[in-house]
Amino acid sequence: MSTPAAVRRVAVVVNTGSRRGAAALEQATAALRSAGLGEVSTHPVRDGATLAATLDRVVAEAPDLLVVGGGDGTVGCAAGRVAGTAVTLGVLPLGTANDFARTLEIPSDVPGAVAALVAGRVVDVDLGRVDGRAFLNVASVGLSVAVTERLTPALKRRLGPAAYPVATLGAYRHHRPFAARLEFPDGDHEPVELDDLLQVAVGNGRHYGGGNAVSPSASIDDHLLDVYAIERGRLRDHVSIARFLKDGSFVEHERVHHLTTRRVRLRTDPVLGVNLDGEVVATTPALFEVERNAVHVVVPPTSRAAVLDGRRAGEAS
């Protein structure tokens, strides 16, 4: 799909349980039909339990464009299913953080997001995987898992993006440090042993946690994972680190270990849950990998994301 004219069939899957999903479905569908992007079918999802089955069914029908409305977890679930296929992904950012949309500079309002789908361009982005499970932004262990557990739907509806710092403060107060070993199957780094940790994160995209940056150089199409580990330290250390979360320069702090790789195996003591874009669906030990140029996605014509966009699978070199 290089131009809107190439689209004949559009499937719209919206998580109507997301923060703005129910109200956005009708608005987005009407706008897409009015734009003349082809035959538009709608597939509302009432809860997370039916999301995977709905996406499997829709992707099997091979639409030209799959428009997914919901938060990062919903969009990541869809990305894992269209990866390596000819189906192009479109995004309606209807969640609380919308970090994937932020990375790609997709507007957060429904009319703006639909306008980007109509006039945008298609780029290829990388996909992260944890033991085969897909993630777009960041997969992590430690503090982030406790934050996710505190980010209840009620809290997100009540506070919106402000729910993240509130949940983080509560999780920090009850955090228990852990030890980790990072192993690199490709031999690009020596194994790393770390103790007394607050968090270990593996980033595929640029943004996470409602607008924080993984690192100053992180990109969703650089074919690399950004790995960082934060030592527990003192409260003033964490305050200092928090000041630089937005631009990613916190990775330069003396209590933060940062490197890039294509594959890393993480072992922890004790065994910990792994948070993938807001969903705790794996445990350590786990293998983190990057799948290069895996997903075709529509971005606005002015988007500065995916500047390293590579050839799609099957194209001549």
CATH number at residue 83: 3.40.50.10330
pLDDT at 101: 96
Q: Where are the beta strands (DSSP E) in the chain?
A: 9-15, 39-45, 65-70, 88-93, 121-130, 133-135, 138-142, 178-183, 192-203, 207-208, 212-213, 225-231, 256-261, 263-269, 273-276, 279-283, 286-299
> Is the pLDDT reported for residue 230 higher than 70?
yes
Residue 269 and residue 224 share a domain: yes
Domain-located, residue 299: no
> Is the pLDDT reported for residue 46 higher than 70?
yes
Domain-located, residue 301: no
pLDDT at 1: 45
**pLDDT, averaged across the chain:** 89
pLDDT at 310: 52
pLDDT at 166: 80
How far apart are the C-alpha atoms of 264 and 149, rounded to whole Å? 25
Residue 98 and residue 186 share a domain: no
Residue 115 and residue 45 share a domain: yes
- CATH number of the domain enclosing 199: 2.60.200.40
Residue 150 and residue 87 share a domain: no
The pLDDT of 253-262, averaged and rounded, is 96
pLDDT at 49: 82
The pLDDT of 41-53, averaged and rounded, is 89
Among 64, 94, 119, the domain boundary falls at 119
Residue 24 and residue 50 share a domain: yes
Residue 138 and residue 93 share a domain: no
- Of residues 233 and 219, more confidently modeled: 219
Residue 48 and residue 151 share a domain: no
State phi, psi for 14 to the nearest 5 degrees: -125, 130
Domain-located, residue 51: yes
Number of Cβ atoms within 10 Å of the Cβ of 235: 8
> Is the pLDDT reported for residue 135 higher than 70?
yes
Query: Long-range contact list for 270-275, CB < 8 A, 24+ apart?
Result: 270/178, 272/141, 272/142, 272/145, 272/178, 273/141, 273/145, 274/130, 274/139, 274/140, 274/141, 274/145, 275/139, 275/140, 275/141, 275/144, 275/145, 275/148
> Is the pLDDT reported for residue 18 higher than 70?
no
Residue 184 and residue 51 share a domain: no
Residue 107 and residue 145 share a domain: no
How far apart are the C-alpha atoms of 29 and 11, rounded to whole Å? 10
Asked if residue 89 lies in contact with residue 78, where contact means CB atoms within 8 angstroms, the answer is yes
Residue 70, domain extent: 4-119
How far apart are the C-alpha atoms of 262 and 203, rounded to whole Å? 11
The pLDDT of 157-185, averaged and rounded, is 83
Among 88, 119, 150, the domain boundary falls at 119
The pLDDT of 118-139, averaged and rounded, is 96
Q: Of the ranges 11-25, 199-213, 235-249, which is most confident?
A: 199-213
Domain-located, residue 126: no
Among 119, 151, 166, the domain boundary falls at 119
Residue 287 and residue 138 share a domain: yes
- Which is catalytic among the residues 61, 183, 193, 279? 279
pLDDT at 35: 87
> Is the pLDDT reported for residue 311 higher than 50?
no
Residue 219 and residue 84 share a domain: no
The pLDDT of 272-280, averaged and rounded, is 92
Q: How far is CA 248 from CA 120, 145, 210, 240, in A?
A: 28, 20, 13, 13
Residues 6+ apart with CB under 8 A from 14: 21, 24, 25, 28, 42, 43, 44, 45, 68, 69, 70, 92, 94
Closest residue by Cα to residue 221 from 314, 139, 280, 303: 303
Q: How far is CA 84 from CA 27, 125, 209, 219, 249, in A?
A: 30, 11, 27, 20, 33
Residue 142 and residue 70 share a domain: no
Number of folded domains that form the chain = 2
Domain-located, residue 309: no
Domain-located, residue 110: yes
> Is the pLDDT reported for residue 227 higher than 90?
yes
**Is the link from the previous residue into 107 a cis peptide, with omega within 30 of 0?**
no
279 is catalytic: yes
pLDDT at 309: 58
> Is the pLDDT reported for residue 31 higher than 50?
yes
- Of residues 290 and 306, more confidently modeled: 290
The pLDDT of 56-83, averaged and rounded, is 95
How far apart are the C-alpha atoms of 242 and 220, rounded to whole Å? 23
Confidence of residue 314 (pLDDT cuts 50, 70, 90): very low
User: What percent of the chain shows pLDDT beyond 90?
Assistant: 66
Domain-located, residue 314: no
> Is the pLDDT reported for residue 279 higher than 70?
yes
Domain-located, residue 191: yes
pLDDT at 257: 97
